Structure 1
Amino acid sequence: MKTTNKNKMKAARIHQYGSSVEIKLEKIAIPVPGEGEVLIKIFAAGVNPIDWKIREGYLAELIPHRLPLTLGWDFSGEIVSLGKNVNKWDISDAVYGRPDLSKNGAYAEYIVVSEDEIAAKPKTLSWQKSAAVPLVTLAAWQALKEFSAVKQGDRVLIHAGAGGVGIAAIQLAKQAGATVYTTSSSKNSGFLKELGADVVIDYTQEDFSTLENVDIVFDTMGGDVLEKSWGTLKKGASLVSVAEVPSEALAAKYEVNASFCFVQANSEQLSKISNLIDSGKLTVEIDSVFRLEDIAQAHERSESGHTRGKIIIQVLDEPGS
């Protein structure tokens, strides 16, 4: 039996690892939810650095994928079908989430996910802004609340404060009562101080490594930035990276706790994040919006490293538009 267009969807996939030219927009079968899964119509998806790192093959050993692969691991959308034994959700529920990184992602018109990977999207946010939230805010939440237990009075250094993760981290650290230092270009200084940063260090003019007695370093960059961060920490402090695995030898040398935070899908945490957003305690910033057809350009913008907030893919037209 032939598959009709009604059973097909657009998806941005790669058939081999490489540059953004490897992303192909294709028509493929709409997936069917299994037990404990839901099918979601996607209105918007978020772009994160992990998307192009996976595309390039940098993470092939850490996260083995079967190609072809649909990229993208942030989304907002509406549930359109339920698998067996789904009891948390109903059809037409508005949700958002960070799907399993080992499976096909959200650069597609539909996605199947476990019912435990999603939460009700914030009521006060658009579909686009909702899609900007899950991965970066879960990263900040888990790094600061689980890996380093940020608390009142801590001195916290957050790298790349104007990025999606940084924007969330600044707000969460400030809510915990920390003094927040962040690195950024000077053009974002006012914006980051409005979010709650106490000190914005212009990385083009100033050297953050002169800081001392820092309780927590949250590294989102890796490389030289991570290397220069060790000396800012006091003994017994914490360094958490979402960019690369910190050196155990250097952690021992500086007598600090060092961790790699591999962000986990977490419905309960996403629900708490939705509540923070809807109560006005957490804001979201969108850098730019692209159509699914222009996903390669969106990746190139993300790879430039000069964004403020999240890059969003408008996948399907939103209800009422």
Structure 2
Amino acid sequence: MRKVIYNRFGDESVLEVTEQAVPPIQNDQLLIRVKAVSINPLDWKVYGGDMKLMSGSTFPKSVGIDFSGMVEQTGSAVARFTAGDAVIGVLDVFKGGALADYVVVKEADIALKPANISFEQAAALPLTGLSALQIMDQLAAVSANQDVLINGATGGIGLFAVQLAKKRGAKITAVVSTKGVTQATQWGADSVVDYTKQPIKLLNKRFDAVIDLTTKLSFREAKNLMKPNAVFVSTLPSPLAIIASFINNIFSGQKHKILIVKPTADGLTTLTKLAEADLQIVLAKTYFFANVRQAYREARQGKLIGKSVIILD
């Protein structure tokens, strides 16, 4: 089978397509034939070496976190799935391995794919969808009538965060580029700021929650946009940021929370129900397996709206 690996940290040039044996499964595992894999900013932070304290420095390493596919084989202890089931799933966020023709998972790693969406859309759902759920329900605890600022509202997490905040009755201000204004409005933003025309730091408003999905807005800068007991959520879990946020949260009413996504089976099930209802899943671009380096290079430039997906042809 084909599998993308890398043997040193670096840019997209370190990614290699290799031939490997199909992995065997244990009694409590399933073999999944992968149909599509989504691209996430965490991917290039890991293979770029930015997250080596979490990912380790032992090579070779694999890439690809969330995926869609078909159950090919089940272990004798597996009860919830059978061969032929269409599923979505998520692997260890710091180890990856989904960019392969086959992956081995446990039951808690997957959920049945919603029948009303494609495999490409399904692959785009798990990691960023779980991230948005964790931000809305745990980190920011968004509720009705709160003023919420979402910076980077048309990226992978943003497209779900806007929709989920809307479902919770929040008043949403979305910060986007010019080409994202229409999309953010369609997803439910009450007001939209085009950062190319109006710097976010100069907004004359205070918010209950400031959610930065760009990793470009610091907590120090965000404090000027926050109410006295507001929450700032960032998505760059560096060791220094984690320590600084811990110290701040002891002494300050303005809290700094950092997203460290924790995939759960319940979370995946919640996402599938949302997708079966009305959750929009927007694909920015799809790529074939042979173009994996191009796919990551273009996604890392950050100019796309929605999610990019690699199709395993």
Q: 2:205 aligns with which of 206, 212, 216?
A: 212
Q: What residue is the counterpart of 2:312 in the other structure?
A: 315
CA offsets 1:272-308 (integer angstroms, 9 cap, x no match): 111111112x100001111111110011111101110
Once the two structures are superposed, the pairs formed by residues 6-25 of structure 1 within 5 Å of their partners are 9-25=1-17
Normalised to the residue count of structure 1, the TM-score between the two structures is 0.91
1:93 and 2:85 aligned = yes
Amino acid aligned to 2:309: I
Task: Compute the displacement of 1:251 (Å).
Answer: 5.0
Count of paired positions:
307
Q: 1:46 aligns with which of 25, 38, 62?
A: 38
Structure 1 stretches lacking a partner, 5+ long: 1-8, 317-321
Partners of 1:70 and 1:108 within 8 A in 2: no
1:221 and 2:214 aligned = yes
Amino acid aligned to 1:297: Q
Partners of 2:54 and 2:94 within 8 A in 1: no
Normalised to the residue count of structure 2, the TM-score between the two structures is 0.93
CA offsets 1:103-150 (integer angstroms, 9 cap, x no match): 442111111112101111111100001001111110000011112211
Amino acid aligned to 1:279: A
Amino acid aligned to 1:98: V
Amino acid aligned to 2:288: R
Task: Compute the displacement of 1:98 (Å).
Answer: 1.4
Structure 2 stretches lacking a partner, 5+ long: none
Amino acid aligned to 1:308: I
* DSSP 3-state at the match of 1:62: helix
Q: 2:70 aligns with which of 73, 78, 89?
A: 78
Amino acid aligned to 1:286: L
Q: What residue is the counterpart of 1:273 in the other structure?
A: 271
Per the alignment, do residues 66 and 80 of structure 1 end up closer, same or farther by CA in structure 2, a change over 3 Å counting?
Answer: farther
Percent identity over the alignment is 28
* DSSP 3-state at the match of 2:114: coil
CA distance in 1, matches of 2:219, 2:158: 15
Partners of 2:162 and 2:189 within 8 A in 1: yes
Q: What residue is the counterpart of 1:235 in the other structure?
A: 228
* DSSP 3-state at the match of 1:58: coil
Q: What residue is the counterpart of 1:298 in the other structure?
A: 295
Amino acid aligned to 2:207: V
Partners of 1:231 and 1:254 within 8 A in 2: no
Q: What residue is the counterpart of 1:105 in the other structure?
A: 97
Q: CA RMSD in A?
A: 1.7
Amino acid aligned to 1:255: G
CA distance in 1, matches of 2:67, 2:82: 18
Per the alignment, do residues 273 and 163 of structure 1 end up closer, same or farther by CA in structure 2, a change over 3 Å counting?
Answer: same
Amino acid aligned to 1:121: K
Task: Compute the displacement of 1:211 (Å).
Answer: 4.2
Q: 2:165 aligns with which of 173, 177, 180?
A: 173
* DSSP 3-state at the match of 1:149: coil
